[in-house]
Every structure is written in C-alpha cells, then in structure tokens.
Structure 1
C-alpha cells in the first residue's frame, strides 16, 4: 500500500516544475497581500472551496492572495508540502495516513466522500472475479483503500490479485485499453473510463461500508505559520458555508475553475456529503471527527501504513478550526 519513496520523489519533482512559485509562506504580492500556494485535485471535493474563495473575494478579505496548482493525488501534495513547494493542499481519505504519521497537519475537514469504487472489465461481476487478475491502483490513495476494504470483505487479500501500482491517469488509460482487468479508483476519473468502456462493472464502492466515515481534508506542513493557518481556515470555513447555501452556484464556480462541463461537476458532487462549518465544529468538539480519524488509523495499521493509531489531536488542528469559527 505504501507509495515508494523513489516513485513519490520522482513524481513530485515533475509536479513541482509545474508550480508557478518562487517561494512559499510569506511571499507578498504587489498589493501587500501574502501569497499562499495551494494544491488541489481536479474534482468537486478538491476544487470547490478554492473556486468559491476566488469568486467571493475571500482571500483578499484575509489579506491573502492564493496561487493554485493541480495534483493528481494527495501523497504528491504531502511531498510538496514537505519540500517547501506548497503551503497548503487537499487530500482524500486514503492519504490521511501521511498526516497521521507526522508528515503534515490537518487544518480543516472538507466533506465526507463516497466517490471511490473498485471497477472491473465487462463480464467480471464481483470482487472475487478479480482473483489472479491485474488490478491497477494509485498506491496510498482512497482508490487503494476501497480496494483493500473490498478484498477483505470478499475474504481475499492483495495476494489474491496481481496489483499494479499506477498513477491515476495511467489507471484510466490502462483500463480503457484493456491492459488491466480491474482498478481501485474514484469519480470523476471513472467517468473518463466510462466514455470508452460504458459497460464496465462497479464491483465495490465506499457506499458498501456505511459503518465507516471517509473524510477528506485540507492540510498544511507539519510545522507552519499558525497565524496564516488561522486566516486560511477562516477562508475555507466561509467558502464551505457559501457552498452549502448556494449549491448550484458552487457547481458553476467549480466548473469554471476546472474548465470542464457543468454536468460532470453535478455528477461528481452527488458523491459528496457536505457538512456546515457549525456542524464540523460541533463534531470536532464532541469527538466525532477524532473517531473518524481513529477509524482510518486502525485501517492504516492493518495495511501496514502505520505502526500504531496516533491520537487524532496530534495531527488534526481541531482547536484552530474551532477558534477560527468563533472569530
């Protein structure tokens, strides 16, 4: 399950070249605003709050200016945070083992996601049907998470399949070309595959595990500027509540940022359970969020990504999130 250090370093080096940055945390624009460099994944979860923050001028309200860079997955953003090429990023539940292992901090929970699937070529109608077959998966991601959960539920393990580690875009092309028999992946990327393989089978889904929560989150480096973090969290909270109050406009803003058809964003948003900021603050206070993170921690211990379940408050800045809401 763990993304190899060599592969991760090489991949993030490519992503780093795409970042239009000359430095991080403390850069100032011509109008005196501090510039923050923010990574995201090109889907509704990863992009909607950033699109809204731009549209509503929320960065300017906090004396900030944001520059965005697209990444294909969460682990690459964690690596970029650690190397100083990024100030903030967005990760799905499958990458939460990285902040849990001390490589970053969670500054805000975004939504609860249900976009991950195990898919198979037409004619393979169950997870057991993937036994002995090639299954592509981006390691260290939520695609890998749903694959592991599905295998366990079917009484199988990774030893029962031929797992092929791939980056997300390669999974899409390999599945469409019939080079792999199955994949652990997520929407909207699965829609890209369906355009060429409309009869693919969805043999497992995060919807099959309703006893678990799959939060996705915004992250900062393990050591960061607390005052700047508070401003960024305030922006995310205001954008979050604007998204809840204006769902159609939020979809429009996201489609505009991603430069994709609105219908695709509508379909993607259907896989999301959004929570108000007040609700997230309440669930932080009563320990619910810690419980979500502890549950994922236990999963990561079982997969070998963590040696033990760390206390959630060692990597989730719940106090920061709560204080920002009260200001």
Structure 2
C-alpha cells in the first residue's frame, strides 16, 4: 500500500470517528441509540417538526429509539434535562441563553421554528377595554406553564408597553383542551398561546388577537426582528460524548423541516394523532396554514435573530440585564449544516 493511500485512509477513518462527515453519520452506529426526549406540549404546532419525525419514522430511519416525555410546558422539560431524566429537549431557544448565563453549558443543535408563533389574545367580552399590552395590568394571563416561552412573550409585551413583568398574574393552563377551557370558562382574561389552541379560540369567537408572532411581520412588530423559537437543545457534554447520536437526531428533524416545506395542511392533519385536532379538523387545517411560515427553512438561527432574542430577555429579566452571554455558545450549527449537506 502506498504512503499516500495509507494517509488517505487514515484521514477518512479519523473524519468518520469524529463525525465530520454527514454521510458517515448516516452509516455509523449511534453511541446512544435509545434515548429520552423532553417536550412541553407536544400537540402544539410549535413542536410539529418533532411529531413529523416521530410519525414519519425519521428517528427510526436513523437507527434511533426515541422515547418522548411530554411535560406541561417548556420550563418543566428544561428542568428534566438539568435533572438528568431526559437526554435532549425540543424547547424554546431562549432557555439556552438563560442557562449559559447561569454557567450551564446547554446548547441548541437545530432550529425548528424561526418565529415564536405565539399569539396573545383577550377574551372577547373584555376586548372593548383591553386594546394593547399596556392594558394588561391586573388581568389573569393564561400560558402553557409559568417560565415557558408563552409566559415570557406575554411578560415581554408588558415590559415593552411600560408595565412591569409582575403586573399581571401568570397562570399555567396546559397545552391542549385545558387551555381552551380556561378561556371559555373565564378562568383567565388573556391567553398567550400557540396553535391549534389559538385558532380554535379565534374560530369559536372567544378571543380577539392583540399580538401575533406566527408571521414575520408580527414577530418584527413585537421584537424588532426574527426570534428563534423551538429548537433541539442539550447539554454540550452530551453532544461531545455522543456526536453520532446527536447528528442522527438532527438528521431526522431536518427531514421533518424539509417535509413541512411542501406538505399540504391535509397531509399534516392525516399524520398527527386524532387528539391534536381538538375535535375540529377544518380548524386544524387553518391552524397549520397559519403556522407554516414560522418553521425554519435552514435549521440554523442567524446571529441577528439570536441577538434579538437576547436583547428581549435583557429587557425582561433583571438577572440578565447585565449579563454577557457568548451567543456562539448557545447554538452548535455544525450538525444542521451536515444534515443539510447529507440529505
């Protein structure tokens, strides 16, 4: 064997071992083929790429056995990751910034949503009195769970309008039918939530939307720019110890994003579990159509979008106002780049 050939083979072996080749990641065995993923409100369209990967068999195609634990909200799935009861999480990008500020090395590896897709709406019987976030003081705001992105978005809107984040009580109402019931039964005055809950309440005439970040225009109106939404995040040490497993997870979710780019709402409705439809398939179809613009096209958050999120958190949270988080440590983009090139 010639020296040059031996060198080439050695270089190939090294690149494969380190997971540098996306094609190699498809062929390699995962270090941790059976793993647990946490999510807060899986039936929400915010997390649709996860359900697509599960139902289309994209995880299994990668040789992974992914057990999905659905928690009441994003804050709870983060707690599960920190506590070690799940390996990875599909959750809001903002949690990576918060954890980095606390000295915990948690990073995103693929962006699933490029806009928050959160709508803040007021009960219709209060719509004549509540016209904007400046009117939220003292009103009960329903969210998926306190500390989750739905809660933070509502609080950010209040702070931006000149109120304090504590000026309105935040009440966890869950992610599905319980959230719809909270408005219909007047348990809360406002709701900061996601589709299909938002579209259900709008279609039934129960709420009037005041802020809508399902679109680029609505997101810019509130935040001044794009804001990364759902991502897959994990402890950096997991990615370092399990690079092939991490790559395979990202590969599967990238396939979901590509599928969603061209999927018709009817195809989505036929794919998801029946309970996701909230008993109203036509409504779900509208909700999917309303949300399609919000899904990531590249799987990678831009530096400007990450900074926009960080700036909003600094405004909202006194603990972060004087922080100095290195945003490059909140997102590892190499896995998404490899997934895109290998698909």
TM-score computed with the length of structure 1 as normaliser: 0.74
The structure 2 residue matched to 1:135, chosen from 127, 133, 141, is 141
Larger Rg over CA atoms: 2
Which segments of 5 or more consecutive residues in structure 1 lack a partner in the other structure? Answer: 1-24, 28-33
Query: Residue 273 of structure 1 is aligned with which of 268, 289, 293?
Result: 293
Distance 1:154 1:104 in 2: 31
Cα separation, 2, equivalents of 1:194 and 1:229: 39
Q: 1:252 aligns with which of 269, 272, 288?
A: 269
Shift of the 200–42 alpha-carbon distance from structure 1 to 2, 3 Å rule, reads same
After superposition, the Cα gap between the structure-2 partners of 1:249 and 1:222, relative to the gap in structure 1 and judged at 3 Å, is farther
Question: Are 1:154 and 2:167 an aligned pair?
Answer: no
Q: Aligned partners of 1:117, 1:54: CA distance in 2, in Å?
A: 27
- In the other structure, the counterpart of 2:36 is 37
- Residues 35-57 of structure 1: CA distance to partner in whole angstroms, max 9, x if unpaired? 232233212231334324532x3
Q: Deviation per CA, 1:137-167, whole angstroms, max 9, x where unpaired?
A: 43322222332332244333335x3323424
Q: How does 1:1-327 map to 2 (within 5 A)?
A: 34-40=33-39, 41-55=42-56, 57-93=57-93, 95-101=95-101, 102=104, 104-121=106-123, 122-123=125-126, 124-127=129-132, 128-137=134-143, 138-158=145-165, 161-168=167-174, 172-191=180-199, 193=201, 198-206=205-213, 207=218, 208-209=221-222, 211-215=224-228, 216-224=230-238, 225-248=242-265, 250-256=267-273, 259-260=276-277, 261-269=280-288, 270-273=290-293, 279-280=298-299, 284=300, 289-304=302-317, 306=320, 307-327=322-342
- Normalised by the length of structure 2, the TM-score is 0.71
Q: What is the aligned partner in structure 1 of residue 15 from structure 2?
A: none
Q: Find the aligned partners of 2:210 and 2:52 in 1 and give their Cα distance.
A: 33
Change over 3 Å in CA distance of 1:265–1:86 after alignment to 2: farther
Residue in structure 2 matched with residue 30 of structure 1 by the alignment: none
SS at match of 2:78: helix
**After alignment, is 93-102 or 175-184 more displaced?**
93-102
The 3 A distance-change label for structure 1 pair 77 and 290 is: same
Larger deviation: 119-128 or 230-239?
119-128
User: In structure 1, what is the equivalent of residue 17 of structure 2?
Assistant: none
What is the Cα deviation at residue 232 of structure 1? 0.9
Q: Label 1:133 to 1:236 Cα distance change in 2 as closer, same or farther (>3 A).
A: closer
SS in 2 for 1:125: coil
> Could you say what secondary structure the match of 2:186 adopts?
coil
Shift of 1:230: 0.9
Q: Cα RMSD (Å) of the superposition? A: 3.1
1:12 match:
none
Segments of structure 2 that go 5 or more residues without pairing to the other structure are 1-29
